[in-house]
Structure 1
Amino acid sequence: MNPRILAVDDDRCLLDALRRTLCRRYDLSLAQGPEDGLYALRECGPFAVVLSDLRMPGMDGIRFLERARELAPDTTRIMLTGHGDLDAAMAAVNEGHVFRFFTKPCPPDVLVRALDAGVEQHRLVTAEKELLRGTLRGCVKVLLDVLGLVSPEAFGRGERVKSLALAAARRMGLAPSWRLELAGMLSQVGLVAVPQEIVLRRFRGDPLTDEQQAVYDMHPSVAAALLGQIPRMGEVTELISRQGDCRLGGECPTPEAALLALCLDLEDLLAQGRDKRRAADSLRQRWEMREPQALRAVLEALFEESGYLPERLPLDRLREGMVLDADLRDEAGTLIMARGQHVSEAALLRLSRLRKSFRLPGEADVLRPLAPSEGATPSVEERKQDDPAPPDGPPGPAGA
């Protein structure tokens, strides 16, 4: 298969000349102007090389190639320019925007050699990233396999944390993040160094001695030490190593860190035998003032399957579609609205009138209907941009 080249110029005659010169050697696409070029990069890529003129109306070649680098960072960039534009072209090269530049008219044999060099540069870049991606994926899979063998309970906990954190991230409108996915899966990997008796007691919610607690609390730093040896895992390692500080009241540096800490707290509460509602109440007490957006997203993800989130709301915040989760009574005990009753326009009007004559409580326990998660599948460009070597996908469970 011939290498894919994208040529961008506002001069149709020059594009036709390039087609005649290059079409037999390359899989050549032509774009008349920078906007068409950006569209081709978004919709028709990937390309090994993009060849652009410098002087184009609306957007010059330097700006176009900057945008091209954002859309397709692995694509090699080459510029054609006139003699009067040498300073601008050299600046673009020095700033890292382009691989090579040539003055027009450029002899065909010189241009072909430059394109061949650009194709080889693209091959080297992509091969290195594929090697790094494979290395990263293999290392992560080994760690997860070991965790699954040593402590199936810890492995399962990590899987649950990962799933809930990703669902909460979608509800927060965060871009899909392989870092959060791996941080959830690997958040428990340091437990391979903790005696399993301590791990099981902790997961059952049994009390630990001060010495046992100190041993258990070492697991994030153990995980950080293990992951610190793997390329491209710095941000994942940071998320995992900071989980203890964030959960103990320290600052959560990113929304992802807050989500991870919240999900781990929730796991602990559920392990202690609390049902979802009691666990949600405990989370609200701990996190509502610190991370209200992350808390809301985690609770919505937790109750996503049921379609309703239990909340206690002021009466003036009740809305149509909500359902009473407990009887609403006045100060004398008279039933105003029964548990399970749907809040309707008529019910809201009645409450408004009753509040003038009866001493009603200030709040009501309700079930708020959840909107569907608005998470979207990322585009190829979104996954590549600023994300040079993620795994191709999450490794399978141990033994898979």
Structure 2
Amino acid sequence: MAEKGNEIILVADPDLSVQSVLTKLFSDDHAVTCFSDSGSATQFLKDYPNTAIVFSCYHLPGCGGVAFLKQCEALAPQAARIMLTGESSKHAVKEALNLGHAFMYLEKSCQRNEILAAFEAALSHHRHLAKERAILERTLAGSVKMLIEMLSLFHPDAFRRTSAIRQQALKIAKQLGLKKTWELEMAVMLSPLGEAMLPTQILSKFRAARSLGEQEREILARAPQQTRDLLQNIPQLNRVSEYLFLSGRGYDGSGFPENGPIGQDIPLISRIIKLLTDLWYASPENGPDAAAFEALLINWRQYDPRLLDITKAVLLKELPHEPKSKFIQCHIRSLKPGDVLVDDVRTETSFELVLSGGHLLTPTTIRRLENFNKTAGVRQPLRVRRSKTAGSPLEKSA
């Protein structure tokens, strides 16, 4: 038997004897969950995309076993899929392997040792895929961080919120019990991408809370689509691009895109980004307060009510306590990676914006400030918020 790893095993089969056998075989070392139809099993995979192995019968109530396995490939791409069936025709085998992309095909009359051997092979396959995915995620995360850092130099206003929202999103994910946060972090970091491509006059009016024309509002609302269009050619970011595409969708069905999902059908990551982005715009420079949440309640139907309650509890909990950072004034030579700018940084004479307030400083951005100071001069001293723990949060988490 494979070493204990607590991987999730999903069994989709209405035959209670099959559910019982597989549960007895694997539940000591793994989390086994059984369903009798494709609908409930599909919903489970949406909530647990890190599922390791999926057993499905050929005649699965609902959409059928082959179609279900095909859905599994998109919902849980690292899961090894095993088809269980009493069918022995070549047609059934071809469907399972060619259309359902099953890892293995087993007849229900197979012996215990055959099931165990198939399980061992499937688990090994899953762990190999998971390891490759982890390496890819680390590599891609580093590339995205570099991209965001470069873009933030040219579009400081658009990307100023990402560091704050990322930390907030991680706190909410912890409260929700989400162990895999890679897609959430990537989505937050890339969320301003479409906004950075918008005309500056529209963004200026929006940030100054000035009224927008109908055409301007439509252009602003379609920023998530621009983000998706940019990212959809990167296979590893397909799901992230979809989360961002739906990040402007209100829980009540309002917002972009029209005729999109409503309520719980909107992906959780999209709901989190929608809530935290709106909260950021409603908050003062030093972060969300009770008044910011009161402002969101004006359009409360646009937000997942449970998520709104959790966010309020998590983010306001720290307010009465001693802050974990302090405000200091310093010159550029004294800046440290991890410092957060309190105010906009501008050149000495032309008042050109160099970096926006709220920007998390990295070695690259500090060098940018040094270069600007040498050529155009930068107004100093700068006010920064410095964490009691050294180093940048972005540097610590690849």
Q: TM-score, normalised by structure 2?
A: 0.47
Bigger RCO (CA 8 Å, 6+ sep): 1
Q: TM-score, normalised by structure 1?
A: 0.46
Larger radius of gyration: 1
